[in-house]
Amino acid sequence: MIPAGNSKQNIDRFLGYQDQYDRYRPEAPPMVTSLLSNYLGGRPSVVADIGCGTGLSTFLWKNTADSVIGIEPNPDMLSKAVEKLKQEDEAQSLSFIQGYSNQLPLDSGSVDIITCSQSFHWMEPQSTLQEIARCLRPGGVFAAYDCDWPLMLQADIETRYNLLITAADNLLAELQPESQRAHKWDKEGHLARIQASGHFKFTREIVFHNTETCDAGRYVGLMLSQGGIQTVLKTGSTALDTDLAEFSAAVEAYFDGRTLPVLVSYRMRIGIK
């Protein structure tokens, strides 16, 4: 049974493309651990990464915390994280378990840092923040952080990217009854919701950047890893095929066989209990 506040549609949205997600999505930048450990006041004993997906934001902590728990409701994403963990020789501090953001399998006051990377907008915020506050120790830190899409590259390609995302959303509104659609909360409202919850004595937003290398295949893969695009493709619709092909051709022409540095911008909203 899925606890109230967790949408089956939100969880199911990420079924079936865990390999693509893990291959193309940005890894969480190392700056995350130093920023949050500084606000905590030292090395964390316990970190929980909720909505952890395939662990891209969880493995980051393997050498900077004593115990790290990745919590994920989607079975496909979770299985990929566990598969990766089995291949790690130096990740004894890590574990992955299935769980929901508003029913965390954690003791009250037991966690130093709780993170949501690219995931908080899929969680019912009120019940999730209440549960996060329950699990954090006094002085513990919560952080929800996301990168900006699309990754910075070139105006025409970014415009095509945005138009494709909008087209996918519009198609899903036609193809799926409202009761079957996933629901997400706007990321711009994260900080206000954290503040309004009343669970945190200090809140703020932090903006930072990271550079990753990218070739044409990865940039196109990032587009195809977006949930709306994947959901349209899973319906069997071919309505986006031409636009996707034109987007891929434009990306291929721009990279022209090169691998280039690409700037990734992040927005982090934090609360200290």
Q: β-pairing, 260-272 with 202-214?
A: antiparallel
Give CA–CA dist 125/155, Å, rounded: 34
Closest CA to 137 of 157, 106, 108: 108
Residue 213 and residue 261 in contact, taking contact as beta carbons nearer than 8 Å:
yes
For residues 154 and 271, what is the distance between their CA atoms, to the nearest angstrom?
35
What's the pTM value of the predicted model, to 2 decimals?
0.93
pLDDT digits (tens, 9 = 90+) for 233-254: 888 999 999 999 999 999 999 9
Backbone angles phi, psi at 115, to 5 degrees: -125, 150
Percentages of the chain per state (helix, strand, coil), in multiples of 5: 45, 25, 35
Tell me how far apart the alpha carbons of residues 248 and 219 are, in angstroms, rounded to a whole number: 9
Q: What is the pLDDT of residue 164?
A: 96
* Nearest residue to 228 via CA among 209, 244, 208, 204: 244
The DSSP letter of residue 29 is P
Nearest to 161 by CA among 241, 242, 222, 211: 222
Which pLDDT belongs to residue 4?
47
What values do phi and psi take at 94, rounded to 5?
-95, 145
Is residue 21 a contact partner of residue 78, using CB atoms and an 8 Å limit? no
Per-residue pLDDT at 1: 41
Give tens-digit pLDDT for 113-146: 999 999 999 999 999 999 999 999 999 999 999 9
Crossing angle for the helix pair 227-234 and 216-224, to the nearest 10 degrees:
70
Kindly report, residue by residue over 71-126, the tens digit of the pLDDT: 999 999 999 999 999 998 777 899 999 999 999 999 999 999 999 999 999 999 99
How confident is the model over 24-39, as pLDDT tens digits? 899 889 999 999 999 9
